[in-house]
Chains A and B, each alone.
Chain A
């Protein structure tokens, strides 16, 4: 065995001869990487062998998809670049879902994959996959490296591209022979220069003036807070803008926390499962100031009828997002924080009292509020679980959600007052995202109380990462919203497919025993009275704890704007609540409503 040389992070400037494998870690240490999530295998073994010389913690995942999600969770909790490592072939292809997720949600991660030796490329060698080809449309950029001297520059470029501009995933594929060969290494700390890549944009001053004029003239304005507000750390500026203008703020799913939910001008989430008053406000608005969001179809509904009366100002970093889905009147292309900084001194307060009062009145007829008024007859509703969790954690926990009904209930009932405290799979809607992303977030923020809120279906997609929690001694709390169905699909089947529950009833293992089998803690809750004690017990436990919340099986997320429908046309919760009377054969009858008569 080679003697293990502990690396002193003081990296010398003089030329040294290093192996390609060493150069990988050398470059990562220089980028400030302290933890990587990965899984070894043939083509990446030289790199793993060199890893012990460097001050980097390696987290052994149980499936490479988990590694990519962990890197993403780490990146989203901190804003720093997350790193995943995998071998060639199946190791690399297992990363693909996680890479696509990071691409859709603009998250900076760097994935380092081993590749078969360069002499074998193109020969269909054992565990050879053209991973740069496979990931071409789902990465911001990718690189294949076949020579050791190109490794450090490639990793430097990858980090720069991943975190600058609109962030995204970058794959660096490194052949085994490049890892094994050595070369002379001179560290390079100069700024990365890529001739075709200039992510910065500057907004003409006259456009900022025009935006200020449009805001001052508005009578029914709404601000949209998207993920870009959180990414550019513009929350304070947005608060100041609202303090000066009193304009109400609606959030996208990924924008939740970008503007405090407890603020009097906070409207809540917009779109398919947004509160009724938010979507009505949008449809009736005369000005939309959209910040760092991309008018996703889950936000707009039918584009032909979407916010027809509103002039639209779009603050967005990516020029390709301008006029993609919604035609805007004034695009401001650039970093949200920089643009708000310029806009603030020029903005004058519009007269919006009447508008604000009108929206407050709309809130009274909210369908979402109804669940809080439902009789608490001891039965357990997911909304109650999330609501109680919010109260018990004082809204301060870092919540990671998966995809489906629980994700929407979390968005509706856990009121986020701080940015980067909600991590969820937005654009891609990846089941299985939550647990690994939470593990990554916990490594990034070890002091945070991290909660996974996940469905019984999504949890089982990556439940293998419980073993990672156990091995790494990492503590997260897992609230499984267990309704025995793939709930969101079941809900669509109920509403749109004649109630035929095809392939949605789901039998699960005993989650308490599953936790115990991993040496972790497991609890089960079947009534509302027990929620508090279970949450407290989970938080008090030293190890990762699963709470299996057995909730109402056929509850649905309300309100709901069906896909492609007009934003004001929503399905509402049956007025009496699902727990008494309004059921037929165990299926609640939702109220289909169109806004056309209003």
Chain B
């Protein structure tokens, strides 16, 4: 979609019931309304039966409100929050396996150090690096390691959490207001 390309990336955090098919419902909604998911992460939380999603979608503020409103129409969605304009910690995780022969190992490890990444596996002809950080930081390390020869890489979806003291309890207390304001 050409319009989406010009729209900024927005980051949402959603709590959903941990039941079979819930991810399918959310994916189906995004597909049907032509919301293009750039990144999606789902995982468990400290509360039984509740999963937490972080997802990123190209959307303007209006579309963002409609995404929220449509997600709330799903019975299994507990809360949704657009945290784009909030102070938040936003992280990706990547594992990168690089072709590194013993004679260049020190050089590679120094690069890893510069990016505050970690070597998690060393083999005679390869090195596996773990990095967490923003997408920019991961791209930077990837570019630096590319001359060595990337053997494989895997990257998680983005996860995000707002900064400050407010936790889930405060957020769920605020849900009802979020719901009614979501239209305004």
Please tell me if A375 contacts chain B, counting CB pairs below 8 Å.
no
By a CB distance below 8 angstroms, the chain A residues around B32 are 137
- Complex-state Cα separation, A320 to B29, whole angstroms: 12
Cross-chain contact B25 with A136 (CB below 8 angstroms) = yes
Among the listed B21, B25, B75, B183, which residue makes an inter-chain contact with A319, where contact means beta carbons less than 8 Å apart?
A: B183
In angstroms, how far is the closest chain B Cβ from the Cβ of A143? 9
List residues of B (89-119) whose CB comes within 8 Å of A's CBs. Answer: none
Of the listed residues A196, A204, A207, A331, the one surrounded by the most CB atoms of chain B closer than 10 A to its CB is A196
**Chain A residues whose CB sits within 8 angstroms of the CB of B78 once the complex forms:** 195-196
Q: Does B62 contact A (CB under 8 A)?
A: yes
Whether A331 and B75, one on each chain, are in contact in the complex, defined by CB atoms closer than 8 angstroms, is no
Give chain B nearest CB distance to A249 CB in angstroms. Answer: 24
The 8 A CB mask of B47-73 against A (1 = contact, 0 = none) is 000000000000000100110011011
B176–A333 CB distance below 8 A = no
Whether the Cβ atoms of B184 and A331 lie closer than 8 Å is yes
B28 touches A161 (CB 8 A): no
**B25: which A residues are within 8 A, CB to CB?**
136
Any chain A CB within 8 A of the CB of B126? no
| Closest A residue, CB atoms, query B71 | A320
How many of chain A's residues touch chain B, expressed as a range? 20 to 34
- List of A residues within 8 angstroms of B29 by Cβ: 137
Asked whether, in the complex, the Cβ of B66 is within 8 Å of the Cβ of A320, the reply is yes
Q: At the interface, yes or no: B182 with Cβ under 8 Å from chain A?
A: yes
* A327→B65 CA distance, assembly (Å): 13
Docked complex: B152-184 residues within 8 A CB-CB of A: 176, 179-180, 182-184
Question: Which A residues are in CB contact (< 8 Å) with B65?
Answer: 322-323
Does B76 lie at the interface of the complex (its beta carbon under 8 Å from any beta carbon of A)? yes
A196 touches B182 (CB 8 A): no
Contact of A196 with B77 in the complex, beta carbons under 8 Å: yes
CB contact list, A40-99 vs B, under 8 A: none
**Contact across chains for A137 and B28 when beta carbons are under 8 A apart:** yes
B179 near A319 (CB under 8 angstroms)?
A: yes
| Cβ-defined contact, A319 with B24, below 8 A | no
CB neighbours of B72 from chain A (8 A): 319-320
- Chain A contacts of B179 at CB under 8 A? 198, 201, 319
State the CA gap A320–B79 with chains docked (Å).
Answer: 15
A197 at the interface (CB under 8 A from B): yes
Q: Are A161 and B69 in contact (CB under 8 A)?
A: no
Chain A residue with Cβ nearest B68: A319
Please encode chain A, from 186 to 203, with 1 for each CB lying within 8 Å of some chain B CB and 0 for all others.
000000001111100111
Give CA–CA (A198, B74) in the complex, Å.
Answer: 10
Among B17, B21, B183, the residue within 8 A (CB) of A196 is: B17
Expressed in whole angstroms, the Cα–Cα distance for A141 and B72 within the complex equals 12
**Is B16 in the interface zone, CB < 8 Å from A?**
yes
Contact code string A119-140 (vs B, CB < 8 Å = 1, else 0): 0000000000000110011001
Chain B residue at minimal CB-CB distance from A323: B62
Q: How far is the CB of A121 from chain B (nearest CB, A)?
A: 11
Query: Which among B65, B72, B75 has the highest number of chain A CB atoms within 10 Å?
Result: B75
Q: B residues within 8 A CB of A201?
A: 179-180, 183
A198 contacts which chain B residues (CB < 8 A)?
A: 176, 179
A150 to chain B, nearest CB (A): 12
Task: Please give me the residue from chain B that is nearest to A197 by CB atom.
Answer: B75
Q: Is the CB of A324 within 8 A of B180?
A: no
Q: State which of A136, A197, A203, A322 has its C-beta within 8 Å of the C-beta of B69.
A: A322
B17 adjacent to A195 (CB under 8 Å): yes
Determine the distance from Cα of A198 to Cα of B17 in the docked complex, in whole angstroms: 14
Q: A213 vs B120: C-alpha distance in the bound complex, in angstroms?
A: 66
Cβ-closest chain A residue relative to B21: A132
Q: Are B28 and A318 in contact (CB under 8 A)?
A: no
- The answer for the CA separation of A204 and B70 in the assembled complex, in Å, is 21
B67 vs chain A, min Cβ distance (A): 9
Is A333 a contact partner of B183 (Cβ separation < 8 A)? yes
Contacts A132-B21, A136-B24, A196-B77; A319 near B16 (Cβ below 8 A): no
Which residues of B101-157 are within 8 A (CB) of A?
A: none
Of all chain B residues, which has the CB nearest A168?
B73
CB distance from A515 to the nearest CB of B (A): 42
Q: Tell me which residues across on chain B come within 8 A of A137, comparing CB atoms.
A: 28-29, 32
CA distance A29 to B41 in the complex (A): 43
Interface string of A308-344 (1 = CB under 8 A from B): 0000000000111011100100010100000000000
From residue 31 to 50 of chain B, which have CB atoms closer than 8 A to chain A? Answer: 32
Determine the chain B residues whose CB is within 8 A of the CB of A194 once the complex forms: 75
Are the CB atoms of A161 and B75 closer together than 8 Å?
A: yes
B72 vs chain A, min Cβ distance (A): 7
Residues of A within 8 A of B70 (CB): 320
In chain A between 136 and 185, which residues have their CB closer than 8 angstroms to a CB of chain B?
Answer: 136-137, 140-141, 144, 161
Known contacts A133-B24, A331-B183; is-contact A323 B76 (Cβ 8 Å): no
Would you call A333 and B73 a contact (CB within 8 A)? no
Cβ-closest chain A residue relative to B17: A196
Q: Which residues of B contact A140 (CB under 8 A)?
A: 73, 75
**Cα A203 to Cα B176 with chains together (Å):** 12
B80 → A minimal CB distance (Å): 10
- With a cutoff of 8 Å between Cβ atoms, the chain B residues found around residue A322 in the complex are 65-66, 69, 183
In whole angstroms, how far apart are the Cα atoms of A170 and B5 in the complex? Answer: 36
- Shortest CB-to-CB span from A53 to chain B, Å, is 31
State the CA gap A140–B25 with chains docked (Å): 11
Cβ proximity bits A381-406 to B, threshold 8 Å, 1 near / 0 not: 00000000000000000000000000
Task: For the complex, give the distance between the alpha carbons of A40 and B75 in Å.
Answer: 30
CB-CB under 8 A for A196 and B184, given A137-B28, A323-B66: no
> Taking the nearest CB of chain B, how far is it from the CB of A337, in angstroms?
18
Give Cα distance in the complex from A304 to B183, angstroms.
22
A141 and B75 in contact, given A136-B25, A198-B179 (Cβ under 8 angstroms): yes
Chain B: minimal CB distance from A324 (Å): 6
Who on chain A is nearest to B25 by CB?
A136
Contact call B184/A202, Cβ cutoff below 8 A: no
Chain B residues with CB under 8 Å of A141's CB are 74-75
CB distance from B78 to the nearest CB of A (A): 4
Q: Which of A203-217 contact B (CB under 8 A)?
A: 203-204, 207
Write the chain B residue with the least CB distance to A166.
Answer: B73
User: B24 near A196 (CB under 8 angstroms)?
Assistant: no
Distance between Cα atoms of A322 and B70 in the complex (Å): 11
Q: Which B residues are CB-close (under 8 A) to A319?
A: 69, 72, 179-180, 182-183
Q: For residue A153, give the distance in angstroms from its CB to the closest CB of chain B.
A: 14
Cβ-defined contact, A320 with B75, below 8 A: no
Please tell me if the beta carbons of A320 and B28 are within 8 angstroms of each other in the complex: no
If A133-B24, A322-B183, A331-B183 touch, whether A196 touches B74 (CB-CB below 8 Å) is yes
Task: Given contact pairs A196-B77, A320-B72, enumerate 9 new A-B contacts (beta carbons under 8 Å).
Answer: A144-B21, A196-B17, A196-B76, A319-B69, A319-B179, A319-B182, A322-B69, A331-B184, A333-B180
Interchain residue pairs A-B with the least CB separation, the first 10 = A319-B183, A320-B69, A319-B69, A333-B183, A196-B78, A322-B183, A320-B70, A141-B75, A197-B75, A136-B28
Contacts A/B (CB < 8 Å), 6 sampled: A137-B28, A194-B75, A196-B77, A198-B176, A331-B183, A333-B183
